[in-house]
Amino acid sequence: MTERLSERRYRGLPPEVRQADRRRRFREAGLDVFSDAGYMSSSVPEICRVAGLSTRQFYEEFTSREGLLLDLFQRINEEARSLVSQAMRQVDGEDVRAHVVAGVTAYIRALGDDPRRARVALTEAVGVNQNVDHERERQRAEWTVLIETAGREIMPEGSTPLGGYHTAMVAYAGAVNAVVADWAKGEPRSPLSEVTDVLVPLLTAVLSLGCKQDAGAA
């Protein structure tokens, strides 16, 4: 029945439009189901029920339930990085705190404006299996590159956080993700300014305090 209804819905539409709409609906259903029941308690049939599509259509778009989780996790992180990068580029000058405020605010909004995204990216993708852990490490590396690139543009030439950018970002990521995950699920939510008031000084300190000069820097 579900498949017949969905076929009528798509009648007359080009194949690429049908596929894009199916993927959108499965992604929305995945956000709903993973954030509500939890990834470990979810199932493909439940995702299909929420999406109003068939299991056959699901497996035409995704290899598995894990495949959908990875797709969502990647998209959430990629979209968040794009917003953070754009926000920081719009800041004039080299004021470290102004860049940090812009970047942190963009990150919180990218995940926290939709609590489902925060739940999936920061909670449900943790501890699933080695494959998902590998993707989490890859995404963390991408975030490190973004912050290091931005940091080298706004920090004194040749300076590096003590321990290096990788260690600094691993430490900061643990703090920021815990705070954002807690804020996103709060009822009622505290003002966004209270979250940035906590996270901005942390990242500013990571980038600024105790910075060492790179070897050979003048």
Task: Check residue 218 and give its pLDDT.
Answer: 45
For 126, the token pair is 């943790």
How many structural domains compose the chain? 2
pLDDT tens-digit readout, 187-217: 788 888 888 898 988 888 877 655 555 544 4
Q: Is the domain of 56 the same as that of 76?
A: no
Residue 205 lies in a domain: yes
- Is residue 182 in some structural domain? yes
| Closest among 109, 127, 107, 111 to 119, alpha carbons compared | 111
The mean per-residue pLDDT over the stretch 175-182 comes to 86
- Domain hosting residue 172, numbered range: 70-212
> Which pLDDT score is estimated for 10?
59
> What is the longest distance spanned by two Cα atoms in the chain?
71
- What pLDDT, on a 0 to 100 scale, did the predictor assign at position 33? 98
For the domain that residue 163 is a member of, what is the CATH number? 1.10.357.10
Q: Is residue 218 part of a domain?
A: no
Q: Residue 125: which of 58, 40, 185, 36 has the closest Cα?
A: 40
Tens of pLDDT along 60-103? 999 999 999 999 999 999 999 999 999 999 998 778 889 889 99
Average pLDDT in the chain: 86
Distance (Å, whole) CA 191 – CA 163: 33
The verdict on 101 and 185 lying in the same domain is: yes
Q: Residue 145, exposed/middle/buried by CB under 10 A (0-12, 13-18, 19+)?
A: middle
Instruction: Let me know if 43 is exposed, middle or buried by CB neighbors in 10 A (0-12, 13-18, 19+).
Output: exposed
Q: Is residue 23 part of a domain?
A: yes
C-alpha to C-alpha distance for 112 and 114, rounded to whole angstroms: 5
Q: What is the model's pTM?
A: 0.84
Q: What is the CATH number of the domain that holds 7?
A: 1.10.10
